[in-house]
Homo-oligomer: A and B are copies of this chain.
Amino acid sequence: MTTIYGMTDSGNCYKPRLLMAKLGRPFRHVEVSSNDGGTRSEAFTAKNPNAMVPLLEFDDGRLLAESNAMLLHLGEGTRFLPKDAYERALAYQWLFFEQYSHEPYIAVRRALLTFPNRKKDATPERLQVTLERGNKALRVMEKRLGETPFFAGQSLSVADIALYAYTHVAGEGGFDLGDYPAVGVWLKRVESDPGHVPIGWLP
């Protein structure tokens, strides 16, 4: 059976769990945390030298890191990857946007404010930079969601799963989603898609 190594409350780790749940694919969850040194242990870095979760292990022992790579791999041939080449390219675009322009600010600010071992890094300057850039990412999302119901177009795709993961808990990072009405409507749209499970869900 496929194993997902990850943290229960991490948005990145939630992404492959949410997609697996939607696909009805069984998997085993193994808790490995960056908060207690688990991701930096010798046993774990032998599997992922980049010392990060989530990590996917297939039943033949092959490994796959990077949450958005998992979404693309697991989503292949399903309704979560657009068949149209340009819409598929837009799904790629928003997955990279999520990892470069969104997660490093929206997820990181949540971690700085809520993970006890990150409090020492929560300097006023760091909180300010993550607030500004996180709001910039939310403005870009708001604009897109004023044009199309989902990021890659008319249907929910892996890009929505990736962006949902940390956007729906952005309030925990001090972001006011009330400023972004189209984002709010989209969050509800994602939640009403069949097979939705919440961030803490485990198999």
Contacts and interface: CB of A to CB of B under 8 A. Distances in A.
Given A49-B143, A49-B144, A140-B50, A73 B99 contact: no
Given A92-B72, A139-B49, A65 B97 contact: yes
Interface in A124-167: 139-140, 143-144
Interface in A62-114: 62, 64-70, 72-73, 76, 85-86, 88-90, 92-93, 95-97, 99-101, 103-104
B62 A86 contact: yes
A39 to B, nearest CB: 13
Interface residues of A, number: 33
A156 to B, nearest CB: 18
A100 B104 CA distance: 8
B76 A85 contact: yes
12 contacts: A49-B143, A64-B89, A66-B96, A66-B97, A67-B96, A69-B89, A69-B92, A72-B89, A72-B92, A73-B85, A99-B99, A104-B104
Interface of A: 49-50, 52, 62, 64-70, 72-73, 76, 85-86, 88-90, 92-93, 95-97, 99-101, 103-104, 139-140, 143-144
